[in-house]
Copies of this chain bind each other. A is one copy, B any other.
């Protein structure tokens, strides 16, 4: 394999990071508005950073423990690359959030003093810092790792360790961020709207700053870590499968006749294709910047839909040139188009006819509205799952299990774009909050509201993407796990492991696996409720004890709320995090690899469906409420009984879509990655 092939992922990653740095300083150089705006934005930035710093301390302790365990259980290099994988995840979250918390107030200022197009640009640039950092760090990390270890016997272990570092940090960041953002959101809403009857984002409400902080720690840092880990896991699973694939299957991948060269190409291909995805993403991001004066919805939606098309075309041209089979292109395309389709389906369920039905149902009360939203969420499981099945089927026909993993790589090739558009959402949302809290002209809020509305839709699409890619990645990881087990068994002269569904170990594993998503769902839902309760209490206390607060004559104490939310989120993230990491280890070591495979399969089936159900039901309730607020139901405007009923649905939906749903998706990824890492330790049981 030529060294240009080996070095291309590193170059693509570095280019991405450099562009991210340029955009970061560009954003920071924009005017940041008046003193009030700066003060409020400062609160949000400080609160976000304070959360991150405290979260990182907890994660540092976790990394230390696991790092030491890996040092002794596997090897010093395993420990080292685990730490690198984890560190890069933390770094991506840090950079992205820093950019987002500068971009929010600058978006407000651009909306106040310049054009809507320029405001869009600032928010988009802020998001792009996150998007390019996430994909860039993933590529650079894995690229360097592979450059150093290519052909080395340790390469498998090192790859798995890197992935476990990325995954487990993402797990905590996603769940901790998810609990924070929804506890603050629900808490501020209940206390503000219900208890004191003041509008959303009202500066008198001490919980509003925490709510805005939550958008950053949940939807920027948490989401970033999540997508970073999906990308890493997809690449690693494809590389791991290529490392252990039978020689007879290699000719389907490449025309190289020498089996060693053929395998080297198969192992490197996922990284090279991701590098290609990065280049395409950069082009799409700049195309979107050029289109800043078009309708925001068009700009963002086409950004999400373009990468699959370009990727397929380029791959079709490039694969023959580098001696790879066109099968690679079709597997890649199956995943890439599958991801885009899942995004569109998600948009249908969370923004079109179904939300009108939820709004209609809210006319007869909160009960019927909640029932209808649950039904929409349940229905929404079918088509995305079917799409994953079809994509996996096509990829499997092309290249077997390796093809399935490549299709996951294809789905995540546009990571930088997806993450850009995703991080755009909370920036626009924050911009609106800052404009409201700073008492700017309502016209400013109108502009930011339009940007925010688009962000909501793209957030739904992005969430669909994230969950869809998680499911496909888990299928790939699952295959990699089984191949690793059999690889070790065959090397030790044992028969391959039978994973027959009729074996009681497998069947019990499946049933046990079905429990875990529900447990993580239960704990995260409860956590949000509990943390929100603490916030409501503190807000009520401030309104009670700070004279003149309700009249707008005194300042609230937002830092206390931020502190409460931070502490609560950090404590509450531990239990679900431990479940995800410890369950596969216990089942693997106690019950053996068959039961562990069953656990993964059961977790996959239940977790995929549950995360789609919860994310989409939440999205449907959220948008049904907004639909009523925009006058979608004649005779039932904001403040009517139907609207109040819809608000209750939205409250239920908050932890559904932003805490538990994504938490379950990452649960099944982490379980699979951890299993892949311990595979060699339990293979002979």
Q: Which residues of A line the B interface, CB within 8 A?
A: 186, 190, 194, 361, 364-368, 370-372, 374-379, 381-382, 385-386, 388-389, 392-393, 396, 401, 404, 471, 475, 478-479, 482-483, 498-502, 504, 506-508, 510-515, 517-519, 521-523, 525-526, 528-529, 532-533, 536, 597-598, 601-602, 604-606, 608-609, 613, 647-652, 655
Q: A508-B392, A598-B501 are in contact. Are A529 and B190 (CB under 8 A)?
A: no
Which of A372, A517, A602 counts the most B-chain CB atoms under 10 A from its CB?
A: A602
Instruction: Please tell me which one of the listed residues B389, B502, B508, B647 contacts residue A511 in the complex, with CB atoms under 8 A apart.
Output: B389
Q: A389-B512, A499-B501, A522-B376 are in contact. Are A367 and B401 (CB under 8 A)?
A: no
**In the complex, chain B residues whose CB is within 8 Å of the CB of A479:** 502
Q: A371-B528, A389-B511 are in contact. List 14 more A-B contacts (CB 8 A).
A: A366-B366, A367-B651, A367-B652, A372-B526, A381-B515, A381-B519, A392-B508, A478-B501, A499-B500, A500-B500, A511-B608, A514-B606, A518-B609, A518-B613
Q: Can you list 30 contacts pairing A with B, beta carbon distance less than 8 Å?
A: A186-B367, A366-B651, A368-B533, A370-B648, A370-B652, A371-B525, A371-B529, A371-B651, A375-B526, A376-B522, A378-B521, A381-B519, A382-B515, A392-B504, A392-B508, A478-B501, A478-B507, A482-B502, A499-B502, A500-B501, A501-B506, A501-B597, A507-B601, A510-B604, A513-B605, A514-B606, A514-B608, A601-B605, A605-B606, A606-B609
**In the complex, chain B residues whose CB is within 8 Å of the CB of A367:** 186, 190, 647-652
Q: What number of copies of this chain does the assembly contain?
A: 2
Given the complex of chains A and B, what is the CA–CA distance between A190 and B647 in angstroms? Answer: 19
Q: Is the CB of B190 within 8 A of A365?
A: yes
Residue of B nearest to A187 (CB): B364
Given the complex of chains A and B, what is the CA–CA distance between A119 and B479 in angstroms? Answer: 62
Q: Is the CB of B518 within 8 A of A368?
A: no
Q: Is the CB of B374 within 8 A of A504?
A: no
Residue of B nearest to A370 (CB): B652
Residue of B nearest to A602 (CB): B605
Q: Is the CB of A605 within 8 A of B514?
A: yes
Q: Is the CB of A529 within 8 A of B366?
A: no
Q: How far is the CB of A588 from chain B (nearest CB, A)?
A: 15
Query: Which 10 A-B residue pairings sit nearest by Cβ, starting from the closest?
Result: A367-B651, A378-B522, A379-B522, A499-B501, A375-B525, A514-B605, A381-B518, A378-B518, A396-B504, A602-B605
Q: Is the CB of A500 within 8 A of B498?
A: yes
